[in-house]
Homo-oligomer: A and B are copies of this chain.
Amino acid sequence: MFTCPIPAPDPHRIRLAHGGGGEMTSRLIEDIFLPAFGTENLTQHDSAVVSAPKGKLAITTDSFVVHPIEFSGGDIGSLAIHGTVNDLSMSGARPLYITAGFILEEGLDTAVLSRIAHSMGQTARQAGIAIVAGDTKVVEQGKGDGLYINTSGIGIVEHSLAIAPSSIEPGDAVLVSGDIGRHGITIMSARAGIDLQTDLQSDSANLWPSVSTLLQSGIAIHCLRDITRGGLSMTLNELAETSGTTILLDETAIPVCETVRSTCDLLGLDILQTACEGRYLAIVPEKQAEQTLLALQRHNPEAARIGTVIPSGTAPLLIDGLLGVRRILSKPYGEQLPRIC
């Protein structure tokens, strides 16, 4: 009895031909992306054509290379939608349209791709943002890592505030929208195979509802910034540097959940450099600090006032520590944990 010496290609694995723009690419779009994203907006032409909103547009782009691609509380697909929605939200822009570009590694299980695509579609629908255009490329095995996703977003600015680092002034209050570090610690433990024996999940979330509440409450927001790579240290250092001010933090006020704190202690990680994917900083006039806190707490009871902007001092970022000592918080050199988003 003879058997065929050449094994047939596994129909459940991504092949280079899936990225060739031919019949295989069409099948991938029809079998996986259209059912996942919905057909009502996704263009099958070279570009999507949509009505231009009135006012100012916010535009942003982000590539996602998180490893592993699936983790407790999310996956690379939901993270990509949230990340781009959040970047728009940080300009106070209502998210409208998003594009999705995939770089697939040859050999990727199509069931994984389908799960990720459905997760993106669901996350986008929940966020009220339309996936309007997409693109797929395939690279050889060993030239990628499963899949990478780029999402670019367009939003509409419906307020007249100048939400930007240049609006930050000494005297402003600094608030955080929830407890920090859950995303970084979740990814770290998933990657290292550490079972934290808790229900810790990534904080990956859509921040637009919270930002929208601030805008509707009439807060004269000076600046918003989501806390991602480099954590609180990086984000606040950048804001202080760009605005030419110093930010003074109160370490005792920074909300951190017990699991995150103890895991950081155990592993020697700096919680202030640990990434979130669903938390942001709001910098607002002192007289609206209390009102801002109440608005933030409607979306997350852990929201807190954590500091104050002061005139430019010895360093961009200072912190009054747990033991009452004031110290400088430097910009992290790189990320303590690579590829967290």
Contact = CB atoms under 8 A, between A and B. Distances in A.
Interface residues of A, number: 87
* Residue of A49, A64, A225 most packed against chain B (CB within 10 A): A49
B97 A61 contact: no
A49 B234 contact: no
A15 interface: yes
B334 A22 contact: yes
Given A55-B52, A103-B65, A331 B23 contact: yes
25 contacts: A19-B334, A22-B332, A24-B333, A25-B229, A46-B226, A47-B59, A47-B60, A47-B93, A48-B58, A48-B60, A49-B57, A49-B93, A50-B57, A50-B59, A51-B56, A51-B57, A59-B133, A61-B101, A63-B103, A101-B150, A103-B148, A140-B339, A144-B144, A144-B145, A150-B152
Chain A binding surface SS class: mixed
A51 to B, nearest CB: 6
Number of copies of this chain in the oligomer? 2
Interface of A: 15-26, 43-65, 86-88, 90-91, 93, 97, 99-103, 132-140, 142-145, 148, 150, 152-157, 164-165, 225-226, 228-230, 234, 238, 242, 331-336, 338-339, 341
A63 B154 contact: no
A123 B111 CA distance: 39
B87 A46 contact: yes
Contacts of A21: 228-230, 234, 335
Nearest to A335: B20
Contacts of A90: 45-47
